[in-house]
Chain A
Amino acid sequence: MGTVPSALKHCLSYQHLLKEQLWIAEPPAAAHPAQEPQASGLPEYIKIVEVGPRDGLQNEKVIVPTDIKIELINQLSKTGLPAIEVTSFVSSKWVPQMADHKEVMRGIERHPGVQYPVLTPNLQGFHSAIAAGATEVSVFGAASESFSKMNINCSIEESIERFEEVTKSARNMNIPVRGYVSCALGCPYEGNVLPDKVAEVSKRLYGMGCYEISLGDTIGVGTPGSMKKMLEAVMKEIPLSALAVHCHDTYGQALANILTAMQMGVSVVDSSVAGLGGCPYAKGATGNVATEDVIYMMNGLGIKTGVNLCAVMEAGNFICTALNKKTNSKVAQASFSSGTIN
């Protein structure tokens, strides 16, 4: 298809394209009618929940110093992201990466309009989180018994009881609680997971007071087909506005799955800057979907997110440099010609 070297030489630089071209800049103020999300049945606004500092870093091999974590979160706070999952109040015995949860919670800048939820697996973690200044917490359930046992050493029912203690205390203190359901599209131990099971666990979490349920494709095996079936079952029990999807890109399906969820009306999407966080169940495989790639798609669809893509790429560049690793974001890979921006 022609000589490569001359094409590269004469081509518009990508930095130029970034600034000039619609497909990478902020979504157009007046969306082209053919691109209006309502016309294609998509939500007008998607809330992006950034899980890089917690879910992302937790699954990185290298232990990240506290000041780097704080700097990452501070940079993310300036991107327009409405929610940034900061850390996890679990025992450092289980998750050494999150041992500095108190310092991180106390050390970050708190920007108005940004939520900073933290994971709290039980009442003890919850109290510790509140003492450190947390104003929103998350609890993690699973749609698979085997996963629940292997991950937190108890049955789904027992975990629900633990979470009920947390939500009761949280309610008393007006602290919102987000519920996660892992293995929503498949389990590394059990294989297939029934949509009805996902719906059942989601309903329990919602019923105990979680304001939002994030459905996680923990090992990334889901496809638009299984996403649709699972959401159909869950939507019978939970209002659409209370649902979020947390897709892993281990099999490259994340954006297609997120698109499917959005076509069904879901308007909250979890993602991780630079696609931080591998899959602990598949060596060498990727994990979280990259926030940059999600925003790129939203911008192209004319869907508002409030997030500045270039700012996220800078934060991604920062953390990848600190971790001495390559980004998992394709948008970032395509945009950096020499590893630095502008």
Chain B
Amino acid sequence: ASGAYPKRVKVVEVGPRDGLQNEKNLVPTPVKINLINMLSETGLQVIEATSFVSPKWVPQMADHTEVLQGIRKSPGISYPVLTPNLRGFQAAVAAGAKEVSIFGAASELFTQKNINCSIEESLERFEEVMRAAKEASIPVRGYVSCVLGCPYEGKISAAKVAEVSKKMFSMGCYEISLGDTIGVGTPGSMREMLAVVMKEVPVGALAVHCHDTYGQALANILVALQMGVSVVDASVAGLGGCPYAQGASGNVATEDLVYMLNGLGIHTGVDLQKLMDTGTFICNALNRKTNSKVSQASCRL
């Protein structure tokens, strides 16, 4: 049965970080800055700007300091940045960051392959960041990857997702974004996973980060909304392929998400036309076609 929907949804734009990070072409710093500035004009309240990781690991984000210092910071908009450890956190704060994010995972193998340590060890690293962030009064958002499946382990138990989410929430993360990293989830597995996680973390502190690799993202988001989730991550133009499936798509497109929310009468504050214009800009700059179906369709009502 379809329940009532939230009246408002906060859309967290991850294109400049999660999106660009998974694009093959390196994007020049001025283009990144312009992208974020354009996004700042659309009504989006949260725009993930960059990642303070070593350029050895993620060359696309090597210009993190320049980007964070170069963007026009609109009042009322938050520009969180990724900080995988204390060093990255300190560099981020020195560059002017006012909000940071940390990335956990619900899969041991994924954590090993991705950041070369166990889940437990990664949480210890995050404790350091949390302590420093608390002292500096910097809010921290927590991500949990692989919540509906892992490219190495396959099926992931909802209990494990709940366990990791609970730990990160208790550490002090104000919000936990649950990521379907390889997009294998369906409304069934989304519902099951959320039901278990919601026993440990209040629904008001939950967000969903769905990948559209199997075309399931909007259906999964719909179910999450029906269960009371009111924060949804998305990427302008659906930027960012899936590194685990060659040629496959990744993030759900912000335009398609906003189109659906508009149709449901849910308030987002986002101007769809301005968003589409921004998507056109970055796709031209990247010399690629958009992954947003709304953008592809030129017939308007």
Contacts and interface: CB of A to CB of B under 8 A. Distances in A.
Given A41-B1, A282-B297, A333-B248, A21 B149 contact: yes
B245 interface: yes
Nearest to A4: B243
B131 interface: no
A286 B289 CA distance: 14
B222 interface: yes
Contacts of B253: 252
Contacts of B260: 223-224, 252-253, 256
Contacts of A35: 188-189, 192
B248 A7 contact: no
A252 B298 contact: no
A37 B115 CA distance: 38
A50 B221 CA distance: 26
A282 B299 contact: yes
A191 B242 contact: no
B126 interface: no
B249 A330 contact: yes
B186 A264 contact: no
Nearest to B221: A256
Nearest to A185: B263
B216 A297 contact: yes
B301 A191 contact: yes
B183 A334 contact: yes
Contacts of A259: 187, 219, 222-223
B246 interface: yes
B243 A255 contact: no
B215 A330 contact: yes
A205 to B, nearest CB: 25
A221 interface: yes
A211 interface: no
Nearest to B291: A252
B264 A263 contact: no
Interface in A183-200: 186, 188, 191-192
A3 B22 CA distance: 10
B219 A256 contact: yes
Interface stretch (B66-74, B86-94, B151-159, B200-208): B151-159
A40 B192 CA distance: 10
A228 B264 CA distance: 10
B1 A223 contact: no
B57 A252 contact: no
Interface stretch (A11-19, A82-90, A238-246): A11-19
A250 B263 contact: no
Given A1-B21, A4-B243, A228-B2, A301 B186 contact: yes
A172 interface: no
Given A21-B154, A23-B184, A296 B189 contact: no
Contact of B214 (A221, A263, A331): A331
A194 B220 CA distance: 28
B77 interface: no
B191 interface: yes
B243 A219 contact: no
A22 B187 CA distance: 14
Given A7-B243, A225-B264, A333-B248, A252 B214 contact: no
Nearest to A27: B188
A256 B214 contact: no
A54 to B, nearest CB: 22
Interface centre among A10, A34, A281 (most CB of B within 10 A): A34
A55 interface: no
Contacts of A72: none
A8 interface: yes
A192 B188 contact: no
A281 B299 contact: yes
A251 interface: yes
A308 to B, nearest CB: 17
Interface in B12-49: 21-22
Given A1-B103, A252-B259, 17 more contacts: A2-B57, A7-B244, A17-B151, A21-B184, A23-B155, A35-B189, A192-B301, A223-B264, A264-B2, A282-B298, A285-B296, A285-B298, A297-B216, A300-B186, A333-B249, A334-B183, A337-B245
Interface of A: 1-4, 6-8, 10-12, 14, 17, 20-24, 32, 34-35, 40-41, 186, 188, 191-192, 219-226, 228, 249-253, 255-256, 258-260, 263-264, 279, 281-286, 290, 293, 296-297, 299-302, 329-331, 333-337
Interface of B: 1-2, 21-22, 57-58, 103, 113-115, 145, 149, 151-152, 154-155, 183-189, 191-192, 195, 212-216, 218-219, 221-223, 242-249, 253, 256, 259-260, 262-265, 292-294, 296-299, 301
6 contacts: A252-B293, A300-B186, A300-B189, A300-B216, A302-B188, A330-B248
